[in-house]
């Protein structure tokens, strides 16, 4: 459910960003009439794409990996590396998520609007960013727990190293 929601919202934001940017470029080039607030809208949409994309990427475990070493590992070394990788990802995403919540809460408190000629509410966007980062954190933490269970769980000591 979270994966589907993040994908739909991310694609919607990407679509909005593409349409607004295209209309802005064409309008500026052909009619000397840029879209008011296009830069601000594209920037906010990009934040949604990145953070909801982070959630989707974490759910699918689709981060870029250098598998030159990892594809050769088996047994205990592979499981240890998996724990270290998922733990590092959990900590990194945790630091990001931790920073998004105070900013989102302050944005709601002041009713933040995007600066520029075309003002629009920023707080719903910051909410999506916070939810995306927090969702990715929860998924990463679960994946770390699963990696730890594979490392120390039943049958782990009997695998061929």
Contact 85, 58 (CB under 8 A): no
Task: Give Cβ neighbours of residue 11 (< 8 Å, ≥ 6 apart).
Answer: none
Q: CA dist 147 to 11, 18, 58, 81, Å?
A: 30, 38, 14, 9
Taking the C-alpha atoms of residue 36 and residue 106, their distance in angstroms, rounded to an integer, is 26
The answer to whether residues 55 and 2 touch, using CB atoms and an 8 Å cutoff, is yes
Give the predicted TM-score (pTM) of the model: 0.83
Identify the domain containing residue 25 by its residue range.
2-158
Q: How far apart are CA 67 and CA 115, in angstroms?
A: 44
* Structure letter (DSSP) for residue 32: S
Among 4-8, 116-120, 142-146, top mean pLDDT goes to: 142-146
pLDDT of residue 106: 98
Average pLDDT of the chain, as a whole number: 89
What is the average per-residue pLDDT within 98-124? 93
CA separation (Å) from 100 to 15, 109, 117, 132?
24, 14, 26, 10
Q: How many domains does the chain have?
A: 1
Mean pLDDT within 114-142: 92
pLDDT tens readout for residues 61-101: 888 777 777 777 788 888 898 899 999 999 999 999 999 99
Higher pLDDT pick, 63 / 155: 63
> What is the pLDDT averaged over residues 106-132?
92
């Amino acid at each position: 459910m979270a994966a589907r929601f993040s994908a739909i919202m991310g694609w919607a934001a990407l679509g909005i960003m593409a349409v607004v940017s295209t209309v802005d470029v064409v309008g500026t080039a052909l009619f000397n009439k840029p879209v008011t607030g296009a830069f601000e809208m594209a920037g906010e949409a990009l934040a949604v794409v990145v953070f909801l994309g982070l959630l989707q990427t974490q759910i699918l475990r689709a981060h870029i990996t250098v598998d030159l070493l990892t594809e050769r590992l088996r047994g205990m070394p592979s499981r240890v590396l998996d724990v270290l990788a998922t733990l590092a990802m959990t900590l990194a995403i945790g630091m990001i998520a931790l920073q998004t919540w105070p900013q989102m809460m302050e944005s709601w408190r002041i009713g933040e609007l995007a600066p520029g000629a075309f003002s629009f509410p920023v707080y719903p966007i910051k909410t999506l960013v916070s939810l995306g980062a927090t969702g990715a954190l929860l998924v990463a933490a679960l994946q770390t727990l699963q990696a730890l269970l594979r490392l120390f769980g039943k049958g782990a000591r009997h695998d061929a190293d």
